[in-house]
Amino acid sequence: EKDREFASKSGKRERERERERERERERERERERERERERERERERERKKEREREREREKGEREKTKE
């Protein structure tokens, strides 16, 4: 009887720990997705800056050809 009770409790604790590990893995995946979104935003900012520099350069080229 005691053994069964103990096995039942330890099984319950084990399942609880497993659920906790699963929640932790889910949180980790969420953090990873957030980091990926941040990297994507950073790349987008870089592309935007690059396009702006390109426009400025073209504008400069046009100014020179006018003279």
Show pLDDT as tens, one digit a residue, over the chain (67 residues): 767 776 788 888 999 999 999 999 999 999 999 999 999 999 999 999 999 999 999 998 888 777 6
| Domain range list for the chain | 1-67
| DSSP assignment string, 39-59 | HHHHHHHHHHHHHHHHHHHHH
pTM of the model: 0.60
CA 29-33-35 angle, to 5 degrees, is 115
Distances (CA, A) of 54 to 31, 47, 58, 60: 35, 10, 6, 10
